[in-house]
Structure 1
Amino acid sequence: MSGTDRSQRFADALQSLESGDQEDLLAQFADGAELRRPERKHGPGVSADASTFWQQYLAEFEQIETTFDRIVEQGDEAVLEWHSTGQLAAGRDIDYAGVSLLTFEGDAVSRFATYYDTAAFIDPVE
């Protein structure tokens, strides 16, 4: 296994999700994995159902495409820098970037946390 195999597999699966294939991404997660996004309030140790988490993510968009600018994996931790463009479900274009942190147990993701500026999702004041 090379230095970023697990992280690259996750990134590829996320891009498959954006094209409509949820199975590859869901298969990346350990049972009871913790998933976090800035606008979803989860207390310490609270896990979200991976399927629901990603369905809610996709529901925000009419179309979304993510590219990964940098992937670093060391031990059981990984950092993925990314940039996404697309169109929100409400019809407005969106262009935003962020960072996702992964924790692995073996080949499975046991913790996923992503951070980005949520202001990109708010309609601009005219």
Structure 2
Amino acid sequence: MDTLTQTFMQALQSAEQTRDPAPLVALFSEQATLRNLTTQTWEGVNGAAAFWEAYLNTFASIRSEFSHHADDGRTGVMEWEAKGQLAGGHDLTYRGVSVIEHDGQKVSAFRTYYDSAAFVRPETV
């Protein structure tokens, strides 16, 4: 039987492929919080929908590959590398770690930490 972390990883890859975040959003509770490297916090199922729609809209294409994951029944940790193309057409590869807190059925907290420098294009001289 898959852990919620494994289900989450599969739902994320599906959302990236289909551009439909609905199955991923369905994993979040009404009390969920989502955070990335910005200072903003998204809350609830509507917040999860807004978070994942914004994520997908950042890219023309994206694919996350998971190199390691662990789940103790309450917390899931995922190491990943994502490759794709930004909405503006520039190729991108970046790595990070995401953490979920859950009750085995629903995600109550999502936090992700990644190499934000990968999103900055150096100026050409």
Q: Normalising by the residue count of structure 1, what TM-score does the alignment of the two structures yield?
A: 0.89
List per-residue Cα deviations over 1:45-102 (Å, max 9, x = no partner). Answer: x626011001111111000001111110113011000010000011100000100000
Q: How many residues were matched structurally? A: 121
Q: Distance in 2 between matches of 1:37 and 1:113?
A: 6
Map of 1:59 onto structure 2: 57
Map of 2:27 onto structure 1: 28
Q: Distance in 1 between matches of 2:116 and 2:13?
A: 21
Map of 2:101 onto structure 1: 103
Aligned CA-pair RMSD: 1.5
Gaps of 5+ in 1: none
Q: Distance in 1 between matches of 2:7 and 2:70?
A: 13
Q: Letter of the 1:59 partner, please give it.
A: N
Q: Letter of the 1:32 partner, please give it.
A: Q
Structure 1 stretches (4+) deviating beyond 4 angstroms?
none
Q: Letter of the 2:48 partner, please give it.
A: A
Q: Distance in 2 between matches of 1:118 and 1:82?
A: 14
Sequence identity (%): 40
Q: Distance in 1 between matches of 2:79 and 2:106?
A: 20
CA contact (8 A) 2:73 2:103 kept: no
